[in-house]
Structure 1
Amino acid sequence: MKLVNAPLLALMLALPLAACGERPQANAPQTDTTLGQKVREATNEARKELAQGNISIGSDGAKVEISPAGDLLINGTAVALNDSQRALTLQYRERTIAIAEAGIEIGVQGANLGARAAGEALKGIFSGDTDKIEERVNAEAEKLKANAAKICDQMPALLATQQQLAAAVPEFRPYAKMDQSDIDDCRDGHVELP
């Protein structure tokens, strides 16, 4: 696995597409660029799937999912759960979805930043006023970085819920692979990529 700086990754992915975006009017509120709108439209489907479909839990070899009803499915077979175990699977699902949705939003913000940065650069080249471009782009990048750090703030609660679920449901235990190093890596600004 390779570690990559998360905000930098979002920016790198967005910049090649930035030519498709438009820069909003100077006095307009910060809204989605054309690229950001397209990314948001595409991610709305992912958000819908998160809310309505099973979520997958990362696993080596087995297919582990939690349904919207709180069913724990391992390779398509439901694990028998009592009410308190089901409540934990639902809590784990909710926390996982919250982190995924926050990540999706960071991706949209990264696309917007990339489009705005490209627009600022082009504007500066044509106007000859390049002095403040880096300052404005860096200010926006810092906001994005701060928003990305908020994802890390949600991870300790997810880890605690995972540990509770693993203790309550032995069948889940082999798939409870998140640990403190994942939180530490997040706070260091890195994301593991397969």
Structure 2
Amino acid sequence: MAARGLVHGPLGGNCIHLCVDMQRLFGPGGPWPVPWVEKVLPAIEELTGRHPDRTIFTRFIPAVRPGEGPGMWARYYQRWAAATLSNIDPALVELAPSLARFVPPAKVLDKRVYSPWTEGGLDALLHGSTIDALLVTGGETDVCVLATVLGAIDRGFRTVIVTDAICSSADQTHDALMELYRSRFSEQVEAVTMEEVIDGWR
């Protein structure tokens, strides 16, 4: 299905770019490689380069040791023991190098779960600001991007997903989530191309 465009009009000074988990963890050689990362990275670089001071990068930080974490996260890190901090090069949690160069002025927000909202970090960053619109890029479409988008919707933000700047390691669920964003959340989510974002955010 084609993107619907910026149905609520151009983006302005109350918008930020929220880039989800574009880290070396998910790139080639990481424990959770996402093949599509390399394809969407140039678009994310272009958007960040236009508005570095309006960009927040999230980073997913794994548990330190296998079996650590509250509740089912402990089981998760038994399954993914090879991805815990004690078993990987610590540099893998860093942003992709082509994005890290924008920090500062871009900001970095670390999180230990899928959502950037659950631990309060993103709410704290935005508290007291005039931000009312979020442009979402990054990965994965059906995991951390989904958690990010649902949190933004719940908080009433205008939520814009950049369709050619998000990715997943599973094509089938990526496609299913793109349909979900455009249909079930059509009143609260705008699905647009990077070209439309660049034309609509001056």
TM-score grouping bracket, smaller chain normalisation: under 0.3
TM-score by length of 2: 0.25
More strand by share: 2
Task: Give me the TM-score of the superposition, normalised by structure 1.
Answer: 0.26
Higher helix share: 1
